[in-house]
Homo-oligomer: A and B are copies of this chain.
Amino acid sequence: MSLATVSETRCFGGRQVTFKHDSRSTGTAMRVAVFLPPQAERGPVPAFWFLAGLTCTEDNFAQKAGAQRVAADLGLALIAPDTSPRGDGVPDDEAYDFGVGAGFYLDATEAPWSANFRMRAYIEDELPALLAAELPLDMDRQGLSGHSMGGHGALTIGLRNPGRFRAVSAFAPIASPMNCPWGEKALPRYLGPDRAAWRAYDACALIADGARLPEILVEQGTADPFLAQQLKPELLEDACREAGIGLTLNRRDGYDHSYFFIASFIADHLRWHSARLGL
């Protein structure tokens, strides 16, 4: 087994487990939090991926979203990866929005980041293969979601792999990193100055370049302090309208950027995914 158990407890009749493993993508030990519903004791279950935002680890979604209750009802596994490599020897930056905790779900090409910051390869290829080999997951039925930087991750990974995920949603995603301060800071440092290389990591640019999903569900709080400057859901609305992608964008009055917002609507997303996963 390449997955080592760091901690495990019962949760809503299933198992909440934190695994650790050595990643060839990042060159570090990586952790991932997995909820296996009671149904997983009888056979493979569909998987719901949730990519977290800036400063987060594998713990935030597992501990704060309250997703296990509905996942246990539906028979859905929850997979919450870390947001970057971390540990001794991993380059970092003092800022909260670059370096450790801020992997942006891309494969860096610029030194010193390129040695470890390969979260695209990790999330798209290495981790799914590892989990499929070692856990009772039905990888023909996967859904993908995320929050903020992880909403950007969910949208871009979903758009680049349209056959893999039967459902893609996001909470307060960074709609276009090429057009907001967080992305304008991170993309050149990770990827270099050529903006053409950034387009694979921008949902709106991917759509403009031809990537398609049948539909996307997005939740956005109107009291989110990052809404106007960083998240810009109107750019995703424009891109989807032009491309004929069915975007459902729910603007939620008075909700902010926190996990209180995610917790309030995660059941809606899990049920939306489960309908598309044949549950």
Does B66 lie within 8 Å of A10, measured CB to CB?
Answer: no
A64 contacts across to B, CB distance below 8 A: 63-64
Query: For A113, what are the chain B residues with a Cβ–Cβ distance below 8 Å?
Result: none
Question: For the complex, what is the distance from the CA of A12 to the CA of B267, rounded to whole Å?
Answer: 11
Interface residues of A in 27-55 (CB under 8 A from B): none
A117 at the interface (CB under 8 A from B): no
Within 8 Å of chain B (Cβ to Cβ): is A261?
A: yes
A68 surroundings in chain B (CB, below 8 A): 260, 263-264
Q: Taking the complex as formed, is A255 at the interface, i.e. its CB lies under 8 A from any CB of chain B?
A: yes
8 A Cβ contacts from A203-225 to B: 221, 223
Is A227 engaged at the interface, CB distance under 8 Å to the other chain?
no
Which residues of the other chain, B, contact A221 by a CB distance below 8 angstroms?
9-10
From A11, which residue of chain B is reached at the shortest CB distance? B260
Closest 10 CB pairs of A and B: A66-B66, A10-B254, A9-B256, A11-B260, A10-B255, A12-B264, A16-B260, A63-B64, A9-B260, A11-B264
Contact A254 B63 (CB under 8 A): no
- In the complex, the count of this chain's copies comes to 2
User: What are some 22 contacts across the A-B interface (CB < 8 A)?
Assistant: A9-B254, A9-B255, A9-B258, A9-B260, A10-B223, A10-B255, A10-B260, A10-B264, A11-B260, A11-B263, A11-B264, A12-B264, A13-B264, A16-B260, A63-B63, A66-B69, A66-B263, A68-B260, A68-B263, A68-B264, A69-B264, A69-B267
> Considering the complex, which residues of chain A in the window 77-126 have a beta carbon less than 8 Å from any beta carbon of chain B?
none
A194 lies within 8 A of chain B by Cβ:
no
- Residue from B10, B223, B254 in contact with A252 in the complex, judged by beta carbons closer than 8 Å: B10
Q: Check if A134 is an interface residue, CB within 8 A of chain B.
A: no
A242 adjacent to chain B (CB < 8 Å): no
Which residues in B have their C-beta under 8 angstroms from that of A253? 10
Please name all residues of chain B whose beta carbon is closer than 8 Å to the beta carbon of A256 when the two chains form the complex: 9-10
The chain B residue with its CB closest to the CB of A12 is B264
Contact with B along A10-32 (1 / 0, CB 8 A): 11110010000000000000000
Complex contacts, A263 vs chain B, CB 8 Å: 11-12, 66, 68-69
Report how far A13 CA is from B51 CA in the complex, Å. 25
- A260: nearest chain-B partner, CB-CB: B11
Known contacts A9-B255, A9-B260, A68-B263, then 17 further A-B pairs from the complex at CB < 8 Å, ordered by chain A residue: A9-B223, A9-B258, A9-B261, A10-B223, A10-B255, A10-B256, A10-B261, A11-B264, A13-B264, A63-B63, A63-B260, A66-B69, A66-B263, A68-B260, A69-B263, A69-B264, A69-B267
